[in-house]
Amino acid sequence: MPNDTAPRRIGLLIPSSSSTQEPEFARVLPPHVTVHAARLPLTQIRDDQTARLVDDIEIEAKKLADAQVNVIALPATAPSSRKGQGGDQELIKRIKDASGVPATTASTAMLEVLQVLGKRKVAIGAPWSHAVNQKVAAFLTQNGYEVVDAQELGHEDNLTVGRLDEESGLEMGRRIKSADADIVLLACGNWRTMGVIDRLERELGKPVVTTNQVTLWAALRIAGGVERIEGYGSLLRDHLTARRSAAAE
């Protein structure tokens, strides 16, 4: 088992217009785990831009490898789910082949969370459009999960999403029809939601996960170095101990 205080470096491949992901990761992580980001072009959350975002993924992954990161994550749900079942694994292979570093994506992490927690019925809340939300729902359905509700705020501009405060995530979590769900997903990496997870879990009585939270969880399971993180939901508090080693990736 790795030393829990040994230095760990998480590489992130984030959209160029993202303004919340680096701060959200940094607020959660202990000092010995640091975040190092590269940027991929995206300003609008539309299918044409989420498709182009990954065009240069190999180039940026190689740059992150220069920093000797322990893992590289693509914390972007829409780009990593848009091609449906298996599309996330294609992206992981591209990152790993280019960098030689273990990798994950937000969509891959979500599937792993559902498996580890034993959840099957998902309610989705997101800040983007109905069309994007349907692609995310389709990805989950194709992988054997049931989406019981999917609601969205309708934003297309990613900078606008980054300006939303955490109250918008709290309101969405309350608005989703989650009675038949056994887990709630607040999707979109540029949406500031990390600070409302605990509160929503208490109110709804079920796990609440977000794009950045599940990506961070998956990255830490690969990189190691953290047993438990308090204050950001039951996933990080109770489910970080069953880690995989980087050598197993």
Q: Could you report the per-residue pLDDT of 213-232, keeping only the tens digit for each? A: 999 999 999 998 788 999 99
Does pTM top 0.85 for this prediction?
yes
Per residue in 179-212, pLDDT (tens digit) is: 999 999 999 999 999 999 999 999 999 999 999 9
- Please choose, from the candidates 62, 17, 20, 41, the residue with its C-alpha nearest in 3D space to the C-alpha of residue 215: 20
How many Cα neighbours within 13 Å face the side chain of 199?
12
Instruction: Return the H-helix or E-strand segment holding 106.
Output: helix 106-117
Multiple choice CATH, 109-210, 3.90.740.10, 3.10.20.30, 3.40.50.1860, 3.40.50.300: 3.40.50.1860
Q: Which fold has domain 8-106+212-248?
A: Rossmann fold (3.40.50)
Residues 139-166, buried b or exposed e (16+ Cβ, 10 A)?
bbeebebebbbbebbebbebeebbebeb
> Which tokens in the block code for residue 70?
């322990």
Read off the pLDDT of each residue in 109-137 and give the average, rounded to a whole number. Answer: 97
